[in-house]
């Protein structure tokens, strides 16, 4: 199975399955001398881990990150950094029905068609549990970005068709949805409760804003910064679309409306989302990810078995009502990975940043 690695200079390879013994990652290219210990991972892993609210799977994983290699006396050594996250609260029995039936909207069908074999326990490698390894890697990426003083902030912009109308960073960590608009939280929670009682799920939109990103990150043509960010975010299982800046709205604007005027003080507007020609322009990076509803729902669904015969699937088990809030730290991590990679690539090429 290819496609488990991401990045060039700062390269990660993740491994593990939802109901296997553990998940983890190997990071190659992490510079030496960065202060790092296992306590550094706690905050971000806590934000992503399951079981924080009634709308998330009650699976209770501590998601403790164990450093296996690449750190000595509290500092990275420059050698491969290996991280391990154990699986402890595993209950595979409810997934037995998936031994023969495919979940509509899930990767079960395509994995089986590609590999002729399927780890149906919790989705195996296609499970959202895989993102625990990404978040752990994102912690290291933020450490690499330390000299740039970059701030990466994600939040739930929309959930179940309810859109936040305000952006107050102080509110994000005060609610389980990571929504930056306190007035939108209650309607979102109501929509989630309605979907939960109906045995259904909801999608939404996650937005990430990056401040402090210097001009000059990104490579022209195929390795454009926005192209790399789009790939990174689209690699998250539930994401079905990515916008940068004005995004699809730009298609409905005139050039005179879409262009961001430049003055001696900087850009007057930011419809470009902080990227021009695939290179960061020093303005705020603005990205949005469209997150689909979770396919594992309690409603009966039409499907087929492994022999192609029509069937009806009725699931029981532990599932999230939405993936949106838990994807916030995952998308942040993917943005950090891209920026760290391009920062190290630029630095290796002799590009200078800051004073």
Q: What is the DSSP string of 192-243?
A: HHHHHHTT--B-EEEEEEEESPPTT-S-SGGG-HHHHHHHHHHTSTTEEEEE
pLDDT value, residue 345: 97
Provide the pLDDT confidence category of residue 87 given band limits of 50, 70 and 90.
Answer: confident
- 83-87, 135-139, 315-319: the lowest-pLDDT one: 315-319
Quick: pLDDT tens for 249-273: 999 999 999 999 999 999 999 999 9
- 28-42, 48-62, 183-197, 239-253: the lowest-pLDDT one: 48-62
Q: Looking at the predicted structure, is the pLDDT value of residue 102 above 80? A: yes
Quick: pLDDT tens for 214-262: 999 999 999 999 999 999 999 999 999 999 999 999 999 999 999 999 9
Quick: pLDDT tens for 267-295: 999 999 999 999 999 999 999 999 999 99
Provide the pLDDT confidence category of residue 12 given band limits of 50, 70 and 90.
Answer: very high
pLDDT value, residue 214: 96
Q: Report the pLDDT averaged over residues 312-318.
A: 80
Instruction: Quickly count: other Cβ atoms within 10 Å of residue 152's Cβ.
Output: 23
Instruction: Quickly count: other Cβ atoms within 10 Å of residue 261's Cβ.
Output: 9
Instruction: Quickly count: other Cβ atoms within 10 Å of residue 175's Cβ.
Output: 19
pLDDT value, residue 43: 94
d(CA 156, CA 191): 14
pLDDT value, residue 166: 94
DSSP structure class, residue 108: H
Q: Looking at the predicted structure, is the pLDDT value of residue 317 above 80? A: no
d(CA 298, CA 314): 6
Partners of 243 in the β-ladder: 288
Backbone angles phi, psi at 182, to 5 degrees: -60, -30
d(CA 224, CA 275): 9
Q: Report the pLDDT averaged over residues 340-347.
A: 97
Q: Report the pLDDT averaged over residues 346-355.
A: 83
Those residues whose C-beta lies under 8 Å from the C-beta of residue 77, and which sit 6 or more positions away, are 32, 70, 71
Q: Report the pLDDT averaged over residues 182-201.
A: 95
Nearest to 242 by CA among 273, 267, 269: 273
Whole-model pTM?
Answer: 0.93
Instruction: Quickly count: other Cβ atoms within 10 Å of residue 186's Cβ.
Output: 12
The CATH class of 5-348 is alpha beta
Instruction: Quickly count: other Cβ atoms within 10 Å of residue 307's Cβ.
Output: 7
d(CA 143, CA 266): 28
Quick: pLDDT tens for 149-167: 999 999 999 999 999 999 9
- 88-92, 146-150, 313-317: the lowest-pLDDT one: 88-92
Query: Pairing between strand 266-267 and 81-86?
Result: unpaired
pLDDT value, residue 90: 54
Q: Report the pLDDT averaged over residues 118-128.
A: 74
State the chain's mean pLDDT as an integer. Answer: 91
Q: Report the pLDDT averaged over residues 140-145.
A: 98
Q: Looking at the predicted structure, is the pLDDT value of residue 83 above 60? A: yes
Domain ranges for the chain: 5-348
């Amino acid at each position: 199975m290819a496609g488990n690695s991401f990045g060039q200079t700062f390269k990660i390879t993740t491994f593990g399955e939802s109901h296997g013994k553990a998940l983890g990652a190997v990071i190659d290219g992490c510079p030496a001398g960065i202060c790092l210990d296992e306590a550094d991972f706690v905050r971000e892993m806590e934000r992503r881990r399951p079981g924080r609210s009634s709308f998330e799977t009650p699976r209770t994983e501590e998601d403790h990150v164990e450093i296996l290699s690449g750190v000595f006396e509290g500092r990275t050594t420059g050698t491969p950094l290996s991280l391990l996250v154990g699986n402890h609260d595993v209950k595979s029995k409810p997934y037995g029905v998936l031994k023969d039936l495919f979940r509509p909207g899930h990767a079960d069908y395509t994995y089986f068609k590609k590999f002729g074999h399927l780890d149906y326990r919790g989705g195996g490698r296609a499970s959202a549990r895989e993102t625990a390894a990404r978040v752990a890697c994102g912690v290291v990426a933020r450490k690499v970005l330390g000299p740039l003083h970059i701030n990466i902030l994600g939040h739930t912009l929309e959930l179940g068709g309810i859109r936040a109308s305000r952006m107050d960073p102080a509110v994000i960590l005060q609610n389980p949805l990571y929504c930056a608009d306190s007035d939108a939280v209650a309607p979102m929670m109501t929509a989630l409760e309605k979907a939960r009682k109906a045995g259904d799920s909801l999608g939404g939109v996650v937005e990430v804003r990056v401040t402090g990103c210097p001009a000059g990150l990104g490579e022209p043509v195929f390795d454009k910064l926005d192209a790399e960010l789009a790939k990174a975010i689209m690699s998250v299982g539930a994401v079905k679309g990515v916008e940068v800046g004005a995004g699809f709205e730009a298609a409905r604007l005139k050039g005179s409306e879409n262009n961001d005027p430049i003055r001696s003080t900087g850009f007057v507007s930011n419809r470009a989302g902080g990227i021009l020609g695939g290179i960061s322009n020093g303005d705020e990076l603005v990205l949005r990810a469209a997150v689909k509803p979770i396919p594992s729902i309690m409603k009966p669904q039409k499907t087929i078995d492994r022999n192609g015969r029509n069937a009806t699937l009725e699931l029981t088990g532990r599932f999230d009502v939405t993936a949106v809030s838990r994807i916030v730290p995952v998308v942040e991590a993917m943005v950090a990975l891209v920026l760290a990679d391009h920062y190290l690539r630029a630095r290796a090429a002799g590009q200078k940043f800051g004073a």
